[in-house]
């Protein structure tokens, strides 16, 4: 069960991060009438996959991915998308203070009760971890009484050894059509993977359905 929130802020570095990790959750909150703001830090413009035959070149890729991001937001019913204009594959090299300020400013503006991002060490891609680090630090600096809850996605192979099993599970089977539509919207990144996944869903493969129907988070604790 998702709790009613005042406002949810989702912060990820790449278009498609939201589709994989939280599109069922975002869709559900929106259906519940909870306002959701999604800050996407880059346009994924350094993505290696340009298609075969190519659907884009280096110059057009940001435009393609921007349109895919807008389509994914449409699929989820999300209207408050913030494109933050940072450069793909450079988040780890950004000035940490600048990154923390970006997150702090957004939280101050929107005043969320829940923030969702990546784990600061266990999110595999350097941009993911760097985003998580900035979000954790920004939230940590908020006085405890006003601090929003922070949920993080973690999927490093070592995750369960380091921090155990996820403690928050959102059952979003009723959002599966929206989640699949959000994934499909990012066709430049998901086309091949989805062809395989759709076969597995059709065959009622347990792993594949489990992934589609449950979104898992760790509630971040500050000590």
**Is 186 a residue that touches Zn ion (CB under 5 A)?**
no
Tell me which of 9, 11, 17, 41 binds Zn ion, using CB under 5 A. Answer: 17
Q: Smaller CB distance to Zn ion: residue 14 or 170?
A: 14
* Cα separation, 176 vs 23, whole angstroms: 9
Q: How many CA atoms lie within 13 A of 185 on its CB side?
A: 26
Per DSSP, the three-state class of 215 is: strand
Minimum Å gap between C-beta 167 and Zn ion is 23
Candidate segments 11-19, 76-84, 112-120, 168-176, binder of Zn ion by CB under 5 A: 11-19
Q: Smaller CB distance to Zn ion: residue 104 or 129?
A: 129
Per DSSP, the three-state class of 114 is: strand
Find the binding residues for Zn ion in span 142-161 (CB under 5 A).
none
Question: Which residues partner with 169 through β-bridges?
Answer: 216
Q: Smaller CB distance to Zn ion: residue 84 or 209?
A: 84
**Is 18 a residue that touches Zn ion (CB under 5 A)?**
no
The three state secondary structure string of 93-129 is HCCHHHHHHHHHHHHHHHCCCEEEEECCCCCCCHHHH
Candidate segments 17-25, 79-87, 161-169, 205-213, binder of Zn ion by CB under 5 A: 17-25
Tell me which of 7, 9, 14, 45 binds Zn ion, using CB under 5 A. Answer: 14
Is 134 within 8 Å of 100 (Cβ atoms)?
A: yes
* Cα separation, 107 vs 87, whole angstroms: 21
Candidate segments 13-21, 26-34, 151-159, 166-174, binder of Zn ion by CB under 5 A: 13-21
* Cα separation, 31 vs 164, whole angstroms: 31
| Residue closest to Zn ion when measured from CB atoms | 14
Q: Which residues bind Zn ion (CB under 5 A)?
A: 14, 17
């Amino acid at each position: 069960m998702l709790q009613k929130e005042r406002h949810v802020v989702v912060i990820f570095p790449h278009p498609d991060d939201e589709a994989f990790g939280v599109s069922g959750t975002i869709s559900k909150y929106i259906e519940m009438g909870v306002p959701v703001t999604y800050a996407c830090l880059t346009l994924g413009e350094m993505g290696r996959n340009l298609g075969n035959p190519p659907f884009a070149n280096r110059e057009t890729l940001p435009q393609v991915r921007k349109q895919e991001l807008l389509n994914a937001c449409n699929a989820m019913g999300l209207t408050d998308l913030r494109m933050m204009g940072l450069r793909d594959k450079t988040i780890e090299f950004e000035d940490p203070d600048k990154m923390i300020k970006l997150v702090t400013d957004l939280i101050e503006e929107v005043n969320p009760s829940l923030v969702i991002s990546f784990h600061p060490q266990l999110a595999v891609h350097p941009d993911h971890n760097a985003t998580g680090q900035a979000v954790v630090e920004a939230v940590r600096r908020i006085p405890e009484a006003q601090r929003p809850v922070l949920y993080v996605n973690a999927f490093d192979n070592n995750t369960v050894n380091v921090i155990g099993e996820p403690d928050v599970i959102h059952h979003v089977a009723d959002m599966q059509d929206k989640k699949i539509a959000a994934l499909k919207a990012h066709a430049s990144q998901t086309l091949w993977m989805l062809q395989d996944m759709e076969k597995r869903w059709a065959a009622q493969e347990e792993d594949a359905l489990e992934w589609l129907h449950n979104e898992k988070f760790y509630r971040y604790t500050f000590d």
